[in-house]
Structure 1
Amino acid sequence: MTPSNEMNWQQQAYQCLVTGNYVPAVNLYEQAISSEPNNQSYYWYLGLVLLLQEKETEAQMTWFSAMAEAEPEQIELWTEELIQVLETEAQRREAILDYSVAWLIRQHIREINPVNINNINNLLRLILLAINLESFTGEELNSFGVVEILQSSELKDLDSQLLMQVLERVLDVVPLHPSSLEFASACVPFVPEPYIFIDRLIITSVKIAYSAKKAALAARFLELALQFDPISPEVLIQLTNFYQDAGEYSQGIEMAKLCYSLFSGLAEKVFANHLIIRGLMVAAGEYWSEAVSVFQRHESLLQSLFTMEDKTLDLTTVIRLFSSTYFLPYFRDDLKNNRRLQNQVAEICQFNIKSHAGDRYSLYPPRKADIQKPTLDKPLKIGYVSHCLKRHSVGWIARWLFKYHDRDRFQTYAYLINAQQRQDPLQEWYISQVHKAYKFGLDAAEIAEQIYQDEIDILVDLDSITLDVISEITSLKPAPIQVTWLGWDASGIPAVDYFIVDPYVLPETAQQEYSETLWRLPKTYLAVDGFEIGVPTLRRDRLEIPQDAIIYFSSQMGFKRHPDTVRLQMKILKQVPNSYFLIKGSAEQNSLKSFFIKIAESEGLSSDRLRFLPDVAFEEIHRANLGIADIVLDTYPYNGATTTLETLWMGIPLVTKVGEQFASRNSYTMMMNVGVTEGIAWTDEEYVNWGVKLGKDAALRQKVAEKLRQSRQTSLLWNAEQFTREMETAFQEMWARYIQK
């Protein structure tokens, strides 16, 4: 065969391979082998064509028959030649997006040379192909031995850019798989651009912490970033939150203090100080006294912020400032000063949000041109924005409004924040109840634009400042009317028009302290038809509590445990013989126990009368467990809300102290709405007296329980359908006011 003829038939054979005409390609390669049996390359191509014909056994036999003739020194060379032929075809298949065939070829490359650690690039491409084929599970990181290879020794031919590409895709697809963290850790020595790697870790860890609710795992990922930059502000801030959310309390507090020491700007100091407070309050218990000291510093920092001549701040800092006043109502019941601080912070934040938004996202213009009175042909569009429309307190309460909305007169939209990867049955139920639902991430501009494009008439914020993204959205004013309902308290953002309350949850004089107009519904600002009840897991005998004992119960987060109120609770138990106190709620358990025991002993009460309960898996079990209690003792200055509703629904007497701020009057409005005044206290003395009286008087407890049972048939608090009609009337009146301006 002349060189010219050889070139022609090889081109013809390869063209057949490329175009999928495998039979003539096989014939050509077989003829070539017959003519030149010692030319190994013909065997490589013949085996490849057989493989593409899905004749894997024949392909392997072709390759191995050629290898059988090799001298020991030739095997390595011939193996490399075969791999190069397969690699070229695999790359071609990848280029034309033929991932299945490319994956098959690369699997054979892996089988041909499984022990060569420098074949790592092929393994990485196999992982990419599996991801593209949507077959990747994460187990491949182990079965391919990728982590082990990366950890083993120096890799001469490792494609670091490919490695980073694979890492990014793995973290996108299976961030929760145990091998993903091992893989990310093994990649650290090969990172070509540290700050890109850090950004990737931040994005992944935030998703893990807030979408998957795996804060501890998120912290482990982000700790890898410290190897490159141990004082990165963004890394430290996120790590602080992860530690605190994961219950790694001491690390969370220390990390927050490190942030405070590193930040120099006043606004950054405010936020870092807030992180310290958050850490101390979440840990609770014996951390309280330090939290008070840091809170005093916080007020001073805020005052300095307000007096700054230039209040222009960078966008990231501004967004974080929204939540910097979150803990005000937990420390004190001071409506005037708490609202003043909240309103001023919100005003600074909105000013900066508008400034950074520029022309595109400046306050959206009102749609005056097409405003008309809503009719059956044009229902009023109500948008609900929240990250809590799931198994969450807000989610349990708000669902009844969604259920009973008049779909002829109101078209409802749900903007679910940080919900892209969450699978929650209650969230899916919400999606089924609305005209249109969106699952968003955390991009405020994107969400605001969608709200505007949907031409929402009234936007209802369910979360207030508990999520800064929503505060950013409402600052942009994507809807002509904006309302806060349910979450925390009013945000104080000037672009929010109304805060929905009732005759009891705020005093008559409260309007002067709010930037929003207080819209008072006739009787109650919320209602539910009831709650699902599970199977209880608490028994008196297992808790070593006598059957004739009086059980007081309190279930709240640790940062609601104000020492002054705990002291009142200990006074109650001391005066009621044979009484016990069941304490439940998230916090640093050793600190919380020590905190309660010290206060109990200071009041002359034995710690044997205290029982500390772990959290339970589901809210339905928690509600069932309430049945063990004779009396529930509310917290102050931040009352229960959902926990109070659950207590009253279960028919259990409650003792609550009423204050002046919204957070101090939630239980009050609920008790007034069920017609029960027994247990409502306006002073510390009354709180103790009601606690003692209900503990000693079984007939009084029975009377209250009977009132609560009867209220299920009479109270608006348990009539969500009627409540929905009142909310809808409020929406229509808000709209009427708007179009009359």
Structure 2
Amino acid sequence: MLSLTSPTQWHQRAEKYFLAGNYNQAASIYEEAITIEPDFKSYYWYLGLILLLQGQDVEAQTTWLMALMEGEPEQVEAWNSELVKILQTEVQRREILEEYAIAEKIRQTIKEIYPQDIHNLLNLLQLFIKLENYTDQDLHELGIIKILQSEPRVEVNLELLMEALESVLDHAPAHPSTLEFVEACLPYCKDNTQTLLITLLPAALDIGYSQKQYEIAVQLCELYLQISPNNAEVIGHLASLYQNAAQYEKGIETAKLFFFLVEELADKVFANRQILRGLMTAGGYWEESCLMHNRQELLVKMLIEENPTQLDSARVARLYNANFSTPYIEDNPIKNRSIQNQLMQICQANIVNYAREQVNQYFQGNLERKKQNKPIKKINIGYLSHCLRSHSVGWLARWLFQHHDRDKFQVNGYFINTNPLYDPLHEWYLTKVDKSYKSNKSLQLAEQIYQDEIDILIDLDSITLDTTCDVISLKPAPVQVTWLGWDASGIPAVDYFIADPYVLPESAQEHYSERIWRLPQTYVAVDGFEVSVPTVRRDQLEIPDDAVIYLCGQRGFKRHPDITRLQLKILKEVPNSYFLIKGISDEESIKNFFEELAEKEGIDSSKLRFLPIVYSESVHRANLGIADVVLDTYPYNGATTTLETLWMCIPMVTRVGDQFAARNSYTMMMNAGITEGIAWTDEEYVEWGIRLGKDEALRQQIAWKLKQSRKTSPLWNGKQFTREMETAYEQMWQRYIEG
């Protein structure tokens, strides 16, 4: 009751008790005032409000009705308006005090008086959400959608409308009424599309990437494009969302439209990257993929030549993985590492330009800490990733977290875009860190890392997530390391890249901006994998019991036509053999891809089997057991799939190359004590494939060796690997301290 309708002594006396919460005393004053001045209506309004707040709803309504009974219609309307004004003043006070239950009760009362008051209804909607009482029916039951759809259109405060929309999108994106609400809001934003954009696009990206509800995110973007059909920013993101939703053709066509709409070179680089991503994710468009890859290389070289220094944060974020396609298409680290390093130098320079204050703060702060040279009982380790969940990185990194020596190391987890829906592996990670922090904002993450005084920050994502790259580029920790998630990023702020004696050749250092830190045996190890009951059988696939089954289980990115031709050559030379193909891709395009190549190689396509994806990792591993031989991809090998194959004791053939991505299976096989199946040329790859297919005794021998390796191999010793990683951390920290 911050403003009064009359400055009489009665109001002044009552207000003092009302604000103190002494409702009985305030009510007594108004009852006395009504006795003395019965025609002064505001006394009734305030008395009724007090009764309402005391839970005497019927008495409140009776009090108000008494004051309204004798009025003419025009008077009643004016009195109602006066009453609602008092109620609105009080409800705003309660909302500021975060007394949401009381506020909701008052707004429900306003709704009874003015059921079409859209502003009250939008505020009431937000109170439902704050009180966690919101249901999918509320938008309809409150009449909000119907009112917004009415003609002529109601006048509505756009800022309040967007606040309500943002609340609903954040709280209940999957409710069917949410999309109806978005659609009902569109006409009110036609003259101010930017206001809708800053509400809708962040919500769509969060719903898509954090919550993995790509279909809903797609629909939100499509709705926005109804009022702004050529908005390049939305179209660019929509291309990725279509691709993630497995709508590959739409994703590719939308990316091409995006490329057509943008003009700046940095935007062209990103747009062409979106086209490439769509083509390669689908998996069957290799000829066009190679053309787009060549165009991408040209665009990136032009950008390097231009060397822009005034790029904003959004454009920098889109450049981090502009070069992602290179290891999938060609094994040429001398050229490609140079391009990647130069591209990352541009990103770093622009970040230092627009975030100079923060970069300098971290540099000076960490330097001051170093000068103090305080003895530390524990090295403070921070792990930064969006993959510490049911994801390949999540499955492989867990043994490091499991076996960390907590007497020597404080372990913090910085989790990006973690799905709010229950993920048991992510929940497990939360129990394995001393401190956890979740955010999808790079500046917030970097600041938290700096405030936590992390000594060594481990990046598990490399260039696979722009947020991670942003954080790393700000250099919030004095020592920064890339491990596991991909090849090294080339970001100048990274000090070390974890490798081993095999996964990078001895000459690799000259191509890397990071110092390569080689662990003594392997750069990754696990104690094992959970294996469930298989869901595929030979008879289900109409494959004879005595047939030889080859399997290649990789996503569309890795299906290079050159290695696929070699796999088909093997199939052709081994009688009674079949080829099982599985992996995330566009089913139709990947099937056409294999069948066209099979026809060219003179192979009956009836020898091919396309397996559906299973979303249980333990079932996926069990299903690997159907294979006699696994055929690896090149120039981008398997990694997690290779470890799973070896754990299942299945022989495999891999083609070793020069780049990191072409040597993953090589290092894992060497560390499992297996050299059979390691090929250094295309000819050797085919020879090993044929030999393993024809020689059952050799396959059994390899399977036995793999089973025995579980007892002795460093690949299956997570505790030993953790000690080696910890030794590396200690040595890195000592080097830093010694300058």
Per-residue deviation, 1:419 = 3.3
TM-score under structure 2 normalisation?
0.91
In 2 relative to 1, CA 178–374 (structure 1 residues): closer, same or farther, beyond 3 Å? farther
1:299 paired residue number: 297
CA-to-partner distance for each residue in 1:87-122, whole Å, 9 max, x for gaps? 4543454455432222112223334555xxx32222
> Which residue matches 1:717?
715
Contact 1:385 1:415 in 2 (8 A): yes
CA distance in 2, matches of 1:29, 1:319: 63
- Give the Å deviation of 1:710: 0.5
For residues 157 and 267 of structure 1, the distance between their equivalents in structure 2, rounded to whole angstroms, comes to 41
1:504 aligned partner: 502
8 Å Cα contact 1:551-1:631 kept in structure 2: yes
1:295 CA drift (Å): 0.9
Q: Label 1:348 to 1:113 Cα distance change in 2 as closer, same or farther (>3 A).
A: closer
Deviations 1:493-516 (A, max 9, x none): 233222111111112222222222
What's the offset of the Cα at 1:666? 0.5
Q: Given that residues 551 and 630 in structure 2 are in contact (C-alpha distance below 8 angstroms), is that contact kept between their aligned partners in structure 1?
A: yes
* Equivalence map 1:277-288=2 (5 Å): 277-285=276-284, 287-288=285-286
Other-structure match for 2:222: 223
When residues 47 and 592 of structure 1 are mapped into structure 2, their CA distance, relative to the original with a 3 A threshold, is same
Contact 2:499 2:518 in 1 (8 A): yes
How big is the shift at 1:19? 5.4
Tell me the equivalent position of 2:638: 640
Give matches, 1:398-437, under 5 Å: 398-419=397-418, 421=420, 423-437=422-436
Higher alpha-carbon deviation: 338-347 or 175-184: 175-184
Distance 1:571 1:339 in 2: 32
Match of 1:51 in 2: 52
Provide the residue aligned with 2:248 in structure 1: 249
Q: Which moved more, 1:267-276 or 1:5-14?
A: 5-14
Residues of 2 paired with 1:96 and 1:347: CA distance? 49
CA separation of 1:311/1:369 partners in 2, compared to 1, >3 Å: closer, same or farther? closer
Give, in angstroms, the shift of residue 69 of structure 1.
Answer: 7.9
Q: Which residue of 2 aligns with 1:367?
A: 367
Contact 1:364/1:476 (CA < 8 Å) preserved in 2?
A: no
Specify the alignment match of 1:732 in structure 2: 730
Which whole-Å CA distance do the structure 1 matches of 2:297 and 2:103 have between them?
A: 62
Change (3 A) 1:62 1:419: same
Q: Which string of whole-angstrom CA distances, capped at 9 and with x for unpartnered residues, describes residues 235-285 of structure 1?
A: 222222212211121222122222222222222222221111111111211
**C-alpha distance in 1 between matches for 2:451 and 2:77:** 63
How many equivalent residue pairs?
Answer: 731
Q: Distance in 1 between matches of 2:112 and 2:308?
A: 66
> Alpha-carbon deviation of 1:412?
2.2
Quickly say closer, same or farther: Cα 1:324–1:10, change in 2 above 3 A: closer
Residue 467 (structure 2) aligns with: 469
| Percent of matched pairs sharing the same residue | 56
Distance change >3 Å, CA 101–CA 292, structure 1 → 2: same
Q: Is this contact kept in 1: 2:173–2:216, CA < 8 A?
A: no
Greater mean deviation of Cα atoms: 705-714 or 205-214 = 205-214
Matches within 5 A, 1:344-363: 344-362=342-360
1:367 match: secondary structure: helix
Give the partner amino acid of 1:275: Q
Q: Give, in angstroms, the shift of residue 591 of structure 1.
A: 0.9
Report deviation, 1:720. Answer: 0.8
Change (3 A) 1:326 1:6: closer
Matches within 5 A, 1:92-491: 92-111=93-112, 114=115, 118-191=116-189, 193-285=192-284, 287-308=285-306, 312-362=310-360, 364-365=363-364, 367=367, 370=370, 378-419=377-418, 421=420, 423-443=422-442, 445-491=443-489
Please state whether the residue corresponding to 2:222 is helix, strand or coil.
Answer: helix
Aligned counterparts of 1:184 and 1:284: Cα–Cα separation in 2: 34
3-state SS of 2:306 partner: coil
Equivalent residue number for residue 586 of structure 1: 584
Tell me which residue corresponds to 2:3.
none
SS in 1 for 2:117: helix
Amino acid at match of 2:501: P
Deviation of the 1:590 alpha carbon: 1.0
8 Å CA contact 1:13–1:25 kept in 2: the answer is yes
CA deviation after TM superposition for structure 1 residue 433, in Å? 1.9
Separation in 2 of the partners of 1:372 and 1:729?
Answer: 24
Could you tell me which runs of 5 or more consecutive residues in structure 1 were left unpaired when the two chains were aligned.
none
Q: In structure 2, what residue type is equivalent to 1:617?
A: Y
Residues 384 and 83 from structure 1, CA distance in 2 versus in 1: closer, same or farther, beyond 3 angstroms?
closer
Match of 1:522 in 2: 520
Shift of 1:309: 6.2
Structure 1 residue 661: deviation in Å?
A: 1.0
CA distance in structure 2 between the partners assigned to 1:467 and 1:493 by the alignment: 13
Root mean square deviation of aligned Cα: 3.0
Which amino acid counterpart does residue 489 of structure 1 have in structure 2? D
One of 601, 606, 609 as aligned partner of 1:608 = 606
Distance 2:88 2:733 in 1: 66
Distance 2:492 2:464 in 1: 17
Distance 1:55 1:93 in 2: 18
Whole-Å separation in 2 of the counterparts to 1:291 and 1:217: 28
C-alpha change, 1:326 and 1:422, in structure 2 (3 Å) is farther
Answer yes or no: is the 8 Å Cα contact 1:374–1:380 preserved in 2.
Answer: no
CA contact (8 A) 2:462 2:482 kept: yes
Q: Give the stretch that moved more between structures: 620-629 or 301-310.
A: 301-310
1:562 is matched with 560
8 Å contact kept, 1:420–1:440: no
SS of corresponding position for 1:635: coil
1:148 shift after superposition: 2.5
Amino acid at match of 1:100: A
- What is the deviation of 1:422? 6.0
1:28-62 residue CA offsets vs partner (Å, 9 max, x unmatched):
76778889999987766655443322123444456
